[in-house]
Amino acid sequence: MKRKSYLPTSDAGKVIWLNNFKEKLLLYAAALGITPVQLAQLATDVDTFSNILLFQNNLKDTMEAYTGFKNLLRNGTASLPAVPPIAAVPMLPMGAQSNIFGRVAVLVQNIKSNTNYDPNTMGDDLRIIGDELTIDTNTWKPIIKAEYIAGSPNIIWTKGDADALKIKVNRGTAYELLAIDTKPDYLDKYTLPPFGQSAMWTYSAIYILDDEEVGEWSDELKVTVKGVA
């Protein structure tokens, strides 16, 4: 089962998530073997990130206020208000470090590998389980391209959420299975035409998920191959 990241995408959402994680982790720290040092660092990380984000938002509001003040000075008709104040630069707390969410990821991984971890209670409470990812495989359609490596076609494709790509080829008579490729890209090492001659090879492909073909076949890719000396 594929899941989305448990972390919100926005910085504001991350602050809310961090605060919940910090508070709820206090309830499970002993059972999960979380040390006081780790809890202290987490608390510092939460305060640091929250305060810097708040300061950044205040700066944005201040810049908007100064833009309005400047416009009023330039060609406004109303009376001038007081000059907008500028928020004080926050002091970093002792122990502030970079890579806050890198440490959080390691901490979450340690929690999930602990034998006392219960995803149904702790996981939900700590919000470290992402939502199930809904995948509509009916819309999948591979895009295949080709480049030449020593004269042979190298079929370029992207894997995405698929398990593999089923590739078929027509070398002049009918399509036949070429490969079920699990790792992009695929080099077709079939014997090239004799030197001085050429041929047209046509490729098509479809994604594989859980051993089943899914989505649509790709558009045909026609590749001219030539004999090499």
Q: Find the mean pLDDT for residues 13-42.
A: 97
Provide the residue range defining the domain that includes 57. Answer: 11-126
The reply to whether 153 and 104 lie within a common domain is: no
What is the pTM for the complete model shown? 0.61
Distance from first CA to last CA of the chain, Å, rounded? 50
Q: For residues 145 and 177, state if they share a domain.
A: yes
Query: Is 132 domain-assigned?
Result: no
**How many domains are contained in the chain?**
2
- Give pLDDT tens digits for 162-221: 999 999 999 999 999 999 999 999 999 999 999 989 999 999 999 999 899 999 999 999
Instruction: Examine the fold and report which residue of 76, 103, 126 is the final residue of a domain before the chain moves on.
Output: 126
- Is 50 found in the same domain as 121? yes
Residue whose C-alpha is closest to residue 34's, from 120, 127, 117:
117
Quick one: 170 and 213 in the same domain?
A: yes
Which band of pLDDT confidence, cut at 50, 70 and 90, is reported for residue 2?
low
Q: What is the pLDDT of residues 10-23, one digit of tens each?
A: 999 999 999 999 99
Q: Are residues 99 and 152 in the same domain?
A: no
- Whether residue 132 is predicted with pLDDT greater than 80 in this model: the reply is no
Nearest to 7 by CA among 122, 133, 104: 104
In a domain, 198, yes or no: yes
- Assess if residue 2 is contained within a domain: no
The residue among 67, 97, 126 that closes a domain is 126
Q: Give yes or no: residues 93 and 176 share one domain.
A: no
pLDDT at 228 over 90: no
Query: What pLDDT is recorded for position 135?
Result: 79
Say what percent of the chain tops pLDDT 70: 99
State whether residue 53 is helix, strand or coil. helix
Handedness of CA 34, 35, 38, 40 (dihedral sign): positive
Structural domain includes residue 116 = yes
